[in-house]
Structure 1
Amino acid sequence: MYQQRQNLLFTLSAVLTGATLLAGVGIYMALKSVETPVAAPNQTVTAPDITEVPVDTLVPPPEHTPVVPIQEQQEPGKNLGGVNWKGKDLRGMKLRNANLGGANLANTDLSGVNLSGAILSGANLENANLSDVNLSNANLGGANLKNANISNANLSSADFRGANLDDANLEGAILKSTHLEGANLNGAIMPKGVDFR
């Protein structure tokens, strides 16, 4: 009985070892066939040109298939929500599409910074210098911009709904499609010809 078990274990281990070797050889051969050839010294090897693979362009799209426009890829923004940069000089920062929601940016100098597409909702920008800033498509909903200098800034399609712009200077700012519903504009200096009060 003992001898039978030992023979059975020996046979089983031999079969498993053989199967493992076969699998290993199979994987090796598969990888070898995919491997890019390496050129010997003074010899060039050209890889196959996959750009010449035939493509069937005559197949019409199925009926009633909605056409989805290709959208421009947006670069991912930095997640800086809640940072405390009070009183800092932030000129030259790259903050396009950045998330600065709830950040403390009071008394900061952001003049000339590109903040297009940035999230500044609920941020404190009191007394901040935002002159010549690009805030196009930015979200500043509920932000505190009291006494902020936003002169000559690009505010196209920016969202200032519910923001506090009390005594803010928006002279020369571009307000094309800017959302100012519910914003506090008391004492705000608006661009010439614009009056939301």
Structure 2
Amino acid sequence: MTAVDMPHVNVKELLDEYAQGKRDFRGMELREANLFEADLRRINLQGSQLQRVYFPYAKLSYADFSHADLYQAQLGDALLHHVDFSHARLVGANLCRASLRYANLRGADLRGANLQRANLYRADLTNANLSDADLSRANLERAHLTGAILAGSNFFQARLVDFTGTYPDARTRYPDGYFQGKLS
């Protein structure tokens, strides 16, 4: 389905249909929508066009954003436990202070994303592209980063990062006290 063929839904329709029990909104176009503090747990927006959507403080646990385009989306302070962002485009997204516990970010494109102070406990970032992403002060306890591209990313004061099997470069900024392997 191309962007031209995608059904467009406005915020009011989405919230009304969600309130009536609908959860499947796959392939929707919802660009630049304002969903500040929205409670949309378990929503399925797989493959949707969500560029510049405004989701701060939203409750989105167990949502499916796999293969969605969230270019420059605002997800700061959002509750994103167990969310599926696999193969999603999150280039330039703001996930500052977001809670991404157990999130699936396998193969996600997070180039230039802001993940400052994000909680990525047990998040799966396998094969994710984190080039130029800011993960300063993020919690990466038990996060999986195998195969992740870390070129130019910032891990200053990030907690419990295991760089085994990752692809950093000379611009990658490591947490204080980095030594080949896990940090404590």
Superposition pairs for residues 11-90 of structure 1, below 5 Å? 77-90=27-40
Alignment match of 2:109 (pick from 159, 171, 192): 159
2:92 aligned partner: 142
Matched, 1:91 2:41: yes
2:14 aligned partner: none
CA shift for structure 1 position 99: 1.0
Kept in 1, the 8 Å contact 2:48–2:67? The answer is yes
| Distance in 1 of aligned mates of 2:26 and 2:95 | 25
1:170 aligned partner: 120
SS of residue paired to 1:114: coil
Share of identical aligned residues, percent? 37
Instruction: Give the letter aligned to residue 131 of structure 1.
Output: H
1:105 aligned partner: 55
Alignment match of 1:114 (pick from 64, 71, 74): 64
2:145 aligned partner: none
| Distance in 2 of aligned mates of 1:177 and 1:114 | 19
Alignment match of 1:194 (pick from 136, 147, 162): 162
Kept in 1, the 8 Å contact 2:43–2:62? The answer is no
Instruction: Give the letter aligned to residue 103 of structure 1.
Output: V
| Distance in 1 of aligned mates of 2:26 and 2:66 | 12
The root-mean-square deviation of aligned C-alpha atoms, in Å, is 1.6
Instruction: Give the letter aligned to residue 167 of structure 1.
Output: R
Kept in 1, the 8 Å contact 2:86–2:107? The answer is yes
| Distance in 2 of aligned mates of 1:76 and 1:89 | 17
TM-score, length-scaled by structure 2: 0.64
| Distance in 2 of aligned mates of 1:194 and 1:113 | 27
SS of residue paired to 1:150: coil
CA-to-aligned-CA distance 1:124-162 (integer Å, 9 cap, x gap)? 001001110010000000000000001101110001100
Question: 1:168–1:104: structure 2 CA closer, same or farther, 3 Å change rule?
Answer: same
Matched, 1:183 2:151: no
Higher helix share: 1
Kept in 1, the 8 Å contact 2:26–2:44? The answer is no
Name which one, 1 or 2, has greater alpha-carbon Rg.
1
Segments of 5+ residues of structure 2 without an aligned counterpart are 1-24, 143-160, 164-171, 175-184
| Distance in 2 of aligned mates of 1:77 and 1:179 | 23
Question: 1:76–1:114: structure 2 CA closer, same or farther, 3 Å change rule?
Answer: closer
| Distance in 1 of aligned mates of 2:82 and 2:141 | 14
Instruction: Give the letter aligned to residue 175 of structure 1.
Output: L
CA shift for structure 1 position 76: 6.7
| Distance in 1 of aligned mates of 2:68 and 2:109 | 10
